[in-house]
């Protein structure tokens, strides 16, 4: 701060800073209105060499905060006053907001000259922070202000631990009425009237722990049975085991046993009655991702509800009676594999689907011609395999470009993801990445991009959400100027077929019209044109014929419109050669023109010499002819 200027400190807090000034003039004030102005004291002459130490406190209703804005400042000592607000510089026009219903402003000044500062304050409604979303669940909020509620829920297979609803409470600083709940997996349980749901092993999609024994009993509504879809079964190669039994107790007949089955049944399994018994046990050694199954109840005379992970389907009948047709699609980035795209519920005596549901998987490699889409690492969101070499080609319209939005990039340090600016691996590299990076974007200079993923053959990657997620979009070219339109009564020529930097566009007009504006536009470095678009306007007057040396001209009017005249009068001592009067006329499509060529003014003495020489030449010619005739006659 410059010597002689005031020390203006604004500390916004509930607690006040003690003054260390001597001979300070007291000026502490409390404000309780919802809005108003605060003016620091303007020192009078009687305050000469007097220090000022003031504290202004603004208190508003609970649930409201205080907003402070600098409206004006005066410092006759020179320069803008320095203001410290929450450890940041507050200049004129900027705003500081409190986190509670009270704010303090501390003003100190050591100065012999007059200074003042005008602040405006007003109350505003405080709010709770947006609550955290629980892992494996979500939250919806009615309002962040006092009285608003936040509702929490868990995804299928997880149970809410904690309150399902929190309320934003009014206070000096608004707060939520409790802690954010968690979504956890229960090790076992009883599910009555089981219509649609999911069972996952503890810790899923992370690894389960050792020495678990979990039992679930599912019971469908009266008169219905249960069908089970297998999403995931990944167990350690020890004594870990997963069983599903056709009944409601541990001794019921086995429908599925991970010991006995190497591959998961694509069609799932069906109970013969209402209940199913599910058992999951682990030993004290290895661990793995675990188990995820989906169950749905269905009534007699109906097929069970189909399911496709990472996809969706449409149906002709939501109750899945005999004759219902279902068609499957995959989420962006996934490809349909195995099973059938279309299935039908058949056999009235024992309704069942005529084909197994397909599977949607993120595959290694592919050619894509969509204008927007997603490229996923193989098996996403599950871990990709080691030793993979995958190539994807993305192609859009020739005059377009591609924007790549890399939303997730979490790979092994020896794995490689490369983007090529073209349709093969010989193109220029846009970027090459390994390990982890936050979200970023890339833009191509071509209508094609090639993505190559290579995983380390010696290293395995475990766990969910390890890999990459790349969204792509067709976008306009970002290396050319925008297309220029044609103009009426004229045409344009372009120096380059693509409007890249340096391209010149020249506009010309048809006969009878003239260019108004700049006829040549250039594409600049910032991909903008060097001027505005010209126009062709009809020519309504003759061009200025110009001046004649050694003369003056007389115009019939200020403008050279059709019908106007221009008369040239030679100066004294000069004689006119040509027509002295020019008329502007318009008879064809070429536009107005002058009736005569521009005359000349020739010096009179020069004219005499010219006439003398002409007479001499004529005389000599006559004499020579006469002499020749006499010779002939003689």
Write the secondary structure of 230-273 as one string of H (helix), E (strand) and C (coil): EEEEECCCCCCEEEEECCCCCCCCEEEECCCCCCCCCCCEECCC
Asked if residue 9 has pLDDT above 60, the reply is no
Give me the percent of the chain exceeding a pLDDT of 70: 85
Give the pLDDT confidence of 324-338 residue by residue, as tens digits: 999 999 999 999 988
Right CATH for 189-360 from 2.170.190.11, 2.30.30.280, 2.60.40.3680, 2.60.120.290: 2.60.120.290
Structure confidence at residue 622 (pLDDT): 64
Q: Which two tokens stand for residue 135?
A: 């892992």
Residue 414 makes CB contacts below 8 A (sequence gap 6+) with 434, 456, 458, 459
CA separation for the pair 94, 71 (Å, rounded) = 9
CA end-to-end span of the chain:
124
Q: Which two tokens stand for residue 29?
A: 């004030």
- Residue 423, φ and ψ in degrees, nearest 5: -100, 10
Tally of residues, the chain: 634
How crowded is residue 470: how many other Cβ atoms within 10 Å of its Cβ?
24
Asked if residue 13 has pLDDT above 60, the reply is no
CATH level 3 topology of 542-634? Complement Module; domain 1 (2.10.70)
Average pLDDT along the chain: 84
Q: Domain-by-domain residue ranges, the chain?
A: 8-125, 137-184, 189-360, 366-475, 490-538, 542-634
Mean pLDDT of 374-399: 93
CA separation for the pair 389, 378 (Å, rounded) = 10
CA angle 219, 225, 231 (to 5 degrees): 80
Residue 588 makes CB contacts below 8 A (sequence gap 6+) with none
Residue 581 makes CB contacts below 8 A (sequence gap 6+) with 565, 566, 567, 596
Q: 18: pLDDT confidence band, cut at 50, 70 and 90? A: very low
pTM score of the predicted model:
0.59
Q: Is the dihedral of CA 441, 445, 447, 451 positive or negative?
A: negative
Q: 199: pLDDT confidence band, cut at 50, 70 and 90? A: very high
Q: Give the range among 75-79, 248-252, 372-376, 495-499 with minimum mean pLDDT.
A: 75-79
Q: Using DSSP, state whether 610 is helix, strand or coil.
A: helix
CA separation for the pair 332, 310 (Å, rounded) = 9
Q: Is the dihedral of CA 244, 247, 250, 255 positive or negative?
A: negative
Mean pLDDT of 270-291: 92
Q: 609: pLDDT confidence band, cut at 50, 70 and 90? A: low
Backbone φ/ψ region at 502: left (φ over 0), alpha (ψ -120 to 50), beta? left
Mean pLDDT of 572-596: 86
Mean pLDDT of 515-523: 93
CATH 2.10.70.10 holds for 490-538:
yes
Q: 517: pLDDT confidence band, cut at 50, 70 and 90? A: very high
Structure confidence at residue 382 (pLDDT): 87
Q: 389: pLDDT confidence band, cut at 50, 70 and 90? A: very high
Mean pLDDT of 124-139: 91
The CA distances from residue 173 to 125, 145, 176, in Å, are 11, 11, 10
The CA distances from residue 606 to 574, 611, 616, in Å, are 9, 9, 15
Asked if residue 471 has pLDDT above 80, the reply is yes
Q: 167: pLDDT confidence band, cut at 50, 70 and 90? A: very high
Right CATH for 366-475 from 2.30.110.10, 3.50.50.60, 2.60.120.290, 1.10.10.410: 2.60.120.290
DSSP of 125-191:
E--PPPPPPPTTEEEEES-SSTT-EEEEEE-TT-EEES-SEEEEEPSSS-EESSPPPEEE--SSEEE
- Residue 625, φ and ψ in degrees, nearest 5: -65, -45
Read off the DSSP letter of residue 595.
S
Read off the DSSP letter of residue 457.
T
Give me the percent of the chain exceeding a pLDDT of 90: 51
Asked if residue 248 has pLDDT above 70, the reply is yes
CA separation for the pair 41, 55 (Å, rounded) = 11
Q: Do 47 and 23 form a contact (C-beta atoms < 8 A)?
A: no
CATH homologous superfamily for 8-125? Spermadhesin, CUB domain (2.60.120.290)
Q: 488: pLDDT confidence band, cut at 50, 70 and 90? A: very high
Structure confidence at residue 263 (pLDDT): 83
DSSP H or E run through 615: helix 604-633
The answer to whether 189-360 and 366-475 have equal CATH topology is: yes
Q: 88: pLDDT confidence band, cut at 50, 70 and 90? A: very low
Paired strand residues for 330: 311
CATH level 3 topology of 137-184? Complement Module; domain 1 (2.10.70)
């Amino acid at each position: 701060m410059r010597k002689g200027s005031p020390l203006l400190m604004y500390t916004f807090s509930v607690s006040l800073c003690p003054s260390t000034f001597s001979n300070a003039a007291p000026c502490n004030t409390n404000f309780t209105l919802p809005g108003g102005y605060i003016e620091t004291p303007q020192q009078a002459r009687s305050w000469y060499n007097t220090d000022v130490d003031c504290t202004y406190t603004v208190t508003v209703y609970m649930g409201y905060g205080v907003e402070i804005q600098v409206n004006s400042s005066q410092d006759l000592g020179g320069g803008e006053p320095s203001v410290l607000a929450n450890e940041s510089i507050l200049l004129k026009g900027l705003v500081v907001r409190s986190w509670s219903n009270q704010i303090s402003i501390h003003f100190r000044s050591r100065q012999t000259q007059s200074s003042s500062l005008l602040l405006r304050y007003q109350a505003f409604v405080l709010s709770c922070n947006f609550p955290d979303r629980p892992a494996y669940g979500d939250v919806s909020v009615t309002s962040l202000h006092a009285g608003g509620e936040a509702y929490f829920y868990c995804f299928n297979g997880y149970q809410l631990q904690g309150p399902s609803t929190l309320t934003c409470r009014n206070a000096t600083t608004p707060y939520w009425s409790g802690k954010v709940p968690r979504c956890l997996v229960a090790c076992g349980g009883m599910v009555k009237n089981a219509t649609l749901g999911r069972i996952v092993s503890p810790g899923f999609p992370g690894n389960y722990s050792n020495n678990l024994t979990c039992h679930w009993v599912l019971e469908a509504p009266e008169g219905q049975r249960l069908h089970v879809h297998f999403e995931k079964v990944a167990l350690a190669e020890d004594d870990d085991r997963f069983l599903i039994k056709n009944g409601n107790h541990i001794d019921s007949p086995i429908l599925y046993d991970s010991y006995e089955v190497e591959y998961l049944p694509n069609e799932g399994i069906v109970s013969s009655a209402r209940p199913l018994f599910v058992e999951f046990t682990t030993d004290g050694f290895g661990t793995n991702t675990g188990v995820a199954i989906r169950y749905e109840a269905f009534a007699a005379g109906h097929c069970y509800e189909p399911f496709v992970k990472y996809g969706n389907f449409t149906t002709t009948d939501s109750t899945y009676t005999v004759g219902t047709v279902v068609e499957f699609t995959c989420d962006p980035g996934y490809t349909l594999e195995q099973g059938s795209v279309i299935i039908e519920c058949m056999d009235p005596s024992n309704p069942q689907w005529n084909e197994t549901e397909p599977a949607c998987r993120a595959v290694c490699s592919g050619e894509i011609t969509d204008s927007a889409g997603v490229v996923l690492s193989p098996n996403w969101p599950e871990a990709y395999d080691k030793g993979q070499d995958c190539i994807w080609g993305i192609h859009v319209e020739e005059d377009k470009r591609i924007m790549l939005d890399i939303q997730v990039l979490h790979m092994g340090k020896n794995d490689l993801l490369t983007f090529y600016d073209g349709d093969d691996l010989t193109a220029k590299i846009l970027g090459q990445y390994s390990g982890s990076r936050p979200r970023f974007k890339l833009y191509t200079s071509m209508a094609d991009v090639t993505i190559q993923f290579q995983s380390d053959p010696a290293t395995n990657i475990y766990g969910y959400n390890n890999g990459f997620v790349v969204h792509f979009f067709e976008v306009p070219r970002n290396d050319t100027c925008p297309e220029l339109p044609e103009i009426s009564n004229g045409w344009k020529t372009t120096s380059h077929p693509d409007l890249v930097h340096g391209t010149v566009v020249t506009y010309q007009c048809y006969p009878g019209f003239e260019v108004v504006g700049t006829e040549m536009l250039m594409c600049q470095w910032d991909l903008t044109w060097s001027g505005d678009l010209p126009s062709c306007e009809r020519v309504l007057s003759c061009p200025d014929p110009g001046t004649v040396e050694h003369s003056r001209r007389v115009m019939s009017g200020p403008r050279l419109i059709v019908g106007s005249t221009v008369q040239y009068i030679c100066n004294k001592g000069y004689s006119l050669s040509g027509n002295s009067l020019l008329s502007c006329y318009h008879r064809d499509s070429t536009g107005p023109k002058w009736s005569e060529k521009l005359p000349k003014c020739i010096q009179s003495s020069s004219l005499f010499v010219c006439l003398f020489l002409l007479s001499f030449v004529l005389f000599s010619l006559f004499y020579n002819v006469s002499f020749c005739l006499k010779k002939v006659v003689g």
